[in-house]
Amino acid sequence: MSDFVSGFWNIYITAISLISILFCVLLLWSQSTHKSTGGVQTTGHVWDEDLEEYSNPMPNWWRWLFYLTVIYSLVYLAVYPGLGSYKGSFGWTSTNAYDAEQKQAERDYGPIFEKYRAMDIHAVAASTEGKEMGQRLFMTYCAQCHGSDARGANGFPNLTDKDWLWGGTAAQIKESVALGRDAMMPAKGLKPDLNGEQITDLANHVRSLSGLANDATRAKRGKELFTTACAACHGPEGKGTVGLAPNLSDGSWLYGSAESSIVETITKGRSNRMPAFGEFLGEAKVHLLTAYVVSLGGAMADNSVSPAPTDTAAAPSAAPAEAAAGK
């Protein structure tokens, strides 16, 4: 009712509710006063030649069940909100109930989460209970995109391999989970920067970088184009740049390695986004989720990593405009 600025709706909903209950009472009362005059009474309705509808009153036990329902509804409306803006004698709201459940859950499970939050991520990943908790979180919040086996799908990264656009150390993975990621590869064929033949040449060169079958003549022409059109982000050898553009020479493809898929990527560009879970889940659950991803075996050693940000509730920063969408 807080959404309505006019008092009319408060009166309208209250009236509709009470009139509906009154109508039910009057209907029941009319059934109580209906007396049989003896013999068989019918409504005159006949189906299949001999199937007649009788006009008998409801049995008393059935009628009293309806009376009890009416009494229950009146008690309910007196205790709980249901009559317009009336809050009920208990002052119950779904928001308060949810908050109470959250507080109780925090009292019950908070110490367990805190225990693992204080542990090193690799230690949590090696813990059977910690890994199982992380897996349950993963199945709830991550499996819809990355799959129940975390191997991803078209447009969603595989978390079990060694290919990471944003870095694969525990700290970098935690940063990705907490802050989210935004990535975009610009379209090269819509302005067009490149024509269709040039894009096909580029696609063949890109396929050659990872040893895939290609048209050698086109790949040679595409190599020259790659230097001016793509190397600024992907590097002269197509090995990519962490946080900017994916490695095109490792055989890992977020949108597929077929020539048609690569042509589509170059022509139309790609944009991808991973949502931030830090503020929603909190530090402890992000820690457990990270530990589970690390336990999958694709994480990298921590010897060359910048630490994860301490403020997991911060808004994610956008990737550079030339970033390619993907892991």
Angstrom distance (rounded) from CA 153 to CA 56: 64
More confident residue, 313 or 246: 246
Which band of pLDDT confidence, cut at 50, 70 and 90, is reported for residue 314? very low
Q: What local confidence, expressed as pLDDT, does residue 189 receive? A: 86
| Per-residue model confidence (pLDDT) at position 311 | 42
**Alpha helices in 269-318, H assignment, sequence order:** 278-281, 283-295
Alpha-carbon span 169 to 172, nearest angstrom: 5
Cα-based distances in Å from 192 to 188, 199, 219, 227: 6, 10, 20, 18
Answer yes or no: is pLDDT of 152 > 70.
yes
* Burial category of 193 from C-beta neighbours within 10 Å (exposed 0-12, middle 13-18, buried 19 and up): middle
pLDDT of residue 321: 33
The structure's pTM equals: 0.70
More confident residue, 103 or 314: 103
Sign of dihedral through CA atoms 186, 192, 194, 198? positive
* 167 Cβ contact list (under 8 Å, min separation 6): 173, 242, 243, 300, 305
The DSSP 8-state label assigned to residue 305 in this structure reads: -
Q: Domains in the chain, ordered, with CATH?
A: 1-32+52-92 (no CATH), 187-268 (1.10.760.10)
